């Protein structure tokens, strides 16, 4: 078992020696392009503010809707009526993952994107609950999508 100093030293050693995080040593042109153009892209895109503004709005929305749960149900509540804020809190991806998905879609420009259970978020989305699907449509309209 290593002591704290040894663990810190080994981590720093790894961090300075590793270079794949920058794309060096990656043989696949696709993976190299993905690392350099998508993962390591530190640019700030126009959509980030819009999405974070919508995330804040949804987080403060106390409107209650009836949810038809087509899956295994919720571990957090047995009630079929939930607030928009509680759905958004549990379903929304953290900003860093949402921004990564945006950069991937922006870089590769796919013709179609299929999203299963978009929750509160014309990608084609498949959502079993009509109330959540209606809210998702309103959110897409608000973002101009």
Provide the number of structural domains found in the chain. Answer: 2
Tell me how far apart the alpha carbons of residues 102 and 115 are, in angstroms, rounded to a whole number.
13
pLDDT grade for 13, boundaries at 50, 70 and 90: confident
Q: In the prediction, which pLDDT does 112 show?
A: 78
CA distances from 141 to 25, 54, 76, 122 (A): 43, 12, 29, 10
Are residue 86 and residue 33 in the same domain, yes or no? no
Q: In the prediction, which pLDDT does 75 show?
A: 63
Residue 122 has pLDDT above 60, yes or no: no
Are residue 102 and residue 131 in the same domain, yes or no? yes
Question: Nearest Cα to 121, choosing from 135, 101, 111?
Answer: 135
Classify residue 49 by its DSSP letter. H
Q: Of 1 and 53, which is predicted with more confidence?
A: 53
CB proximity list for 52: less than 8 A, separation 6 or greater: 95
What domain range includes position 23? 1-40
Tokens 């571990």 map to which residue? Answer: 75
The structure's pTM equals 0.65
Residue 81 has pLDDT above 70, yes or no: yes
Q: In the prediction, which pLDDT does 97 show?
A: 93
């Amino acid at each position: 078992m290593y002591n704290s100093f040894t663990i810190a030293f080994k981590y720093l050693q790894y961090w300075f020696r590793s270079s794949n995080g920058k794309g060096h040593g990656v043989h696949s042109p696709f993976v190299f392009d993905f690392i350099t153009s998508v993962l390591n892209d530190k640019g700030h895109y126009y959509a980030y503010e819009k999405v974070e503004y919508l995330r804040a709005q949804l987080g403060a929305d106390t409107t209650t809707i009836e949810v038809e749960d087509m899956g295994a149900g919720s571990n957090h509540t047995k009630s079929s009526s939930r607030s928009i804020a509680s759905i958004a809190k549990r379903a929304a991806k953290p900003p860093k993952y949402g921004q990564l998905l945006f950069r991937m879609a922006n870089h590769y420009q796919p013709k179609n994107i299929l999203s299963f259970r978009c929750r509160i978020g014309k990608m084609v989305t498949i959502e079993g609950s009509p109330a959540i699907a209606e809210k998702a449509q309103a959110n897409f309209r608000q973002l101009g999508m």
